[in-house]
Amino acid sequence: MTPGELLDLARQVADRKDPATRGLWPRAATLLARQALEEAVWWLDPRLQQATSRATFLALPHLIEADVAHHAGLVHGRLSAACHHHAYELPPTSVELHGCFATVAELIVAVDTARGAQV
């Protein structure tokens, strides 16, 4: 799947609040959004798959617009923290997730633009 398709799937999961998935959909949407973000970065430069998250997001401002890279790093941290279930923490809300989705969408556009410039 492309990063855009993963993000669309995350949005669908977040927007479909089925009582049968109560408590599960926020983490599922979080995982999909984080995967979309990571895939977008890896599409930009496949060598980043071998790097740690910290190194990846330190290098990212040199590959795309610095503001987008900075926000992507922050959102990656939020999504990563939300992916780990702790009994004392609530999962992200739909509003919080949609804020993260907007940043992931910005990153995807920036990566597509940078990839187009490389060709």
Full residue range of the structural domain in which residue 83 is found: 3-118
Position 117 scores a pLDDT of 64
What span, in angstroms and rounded, lies between the C-alpha atoms of 67 and 63? 12
**What is the mean predicted confidence (pLDDT) over 103-107?**
97
**What is the mean predicted confidence (pLDDT) over 30-37?**
96
Q: Which helix (H) or strand (E) holds 33?
A: helix 25-44
With a CB cutoff of 8 Å and minimum separation 6, the contacts of 43 are 3, 111, 115
Asked whether 103 and 53 are in contact (CB, 8 A), the reply is no
Q: What is the pLDDT of residues 1-24, one digit of tens each?
A: 899 999 999 999 998 877 777 768
Q: What is the pLDDT of residues 76-100, one digit of tens each?
A: 999 999 888 777 778 788 899 999 9
Domain count, the chain: 1
